[in-house]
Amino acid sequence: MSGTGKSSVLTELARRGYAVVETDEGDWSEVVDGERPWREDLIAALLDGAGGTLFVQGCVANQGRFYDRFDEVVLLSAPLDVILDRVRTRRTNDFGKRDAERAQIVRDHAEVEPLLRVGATAELDTRRPLVEVADELEAIAGSAR
């Protein structure tokens, strides 16, 4: 979900030496019928070649097809007011600055987040300090080995 801190925590995990992939960037997805699903061939190849701990970030319609390939699926969440404040003030991503995008975030929070919660093996509240969220992700990854 937008504004939950996915990119920030991936940056912290990379700083700690972990392999990370942010699928919102690069060629990991393509536009199909107005959506941006993962390119399944690329994601499959990524997971086939993963050796060791790999953190993959994304929120796409077809991600559930890969859940059985992940040791854990973690939902990063925050209350809607926190998310809207974050996207309003962030400088690294312009998504959420326009009224239509903010309306989409509100809809996604109401409609998509509950679906993501069902498929998740863990949920982390990202109102906590970033280092604490990264610590918990490290612990989850360590227990999945």
Domain ranges of the chain: 6-134
Residue 83 φ/ψ, nearest 5 degrees: -60, -50
Residue range 121-144: mean pLDDT, rounded: 95
Residue range 128-133: mean pLDDT, rounded: 97
Question: What pTM was estimated for this model as a whole?
Answer: 0.91
Class of domain 6-134: alpha beta
Neighbours of 56 (CB within 10 A): 21
What's the CA gap between 96 and 90, in Å, rounded? 9
User: Which pLDDT belongs to residue 144?
Assistant: 65
Q: Which amino acid is at 73?
A: V
Average pLDDT, the chain: 94
Share of the chain above pLDDT 90, in %: 81
User: Which pLDDT belongs to residue 94?
Assistant: 86
**How does pLDDT run across 40-83, given as a tens digit for each residue?**
999 999 999 988 899 999 999 999 999 999 999 999 999 999 99
Residue 97 φ/ψ, nearest 5 degrees: -80, -30
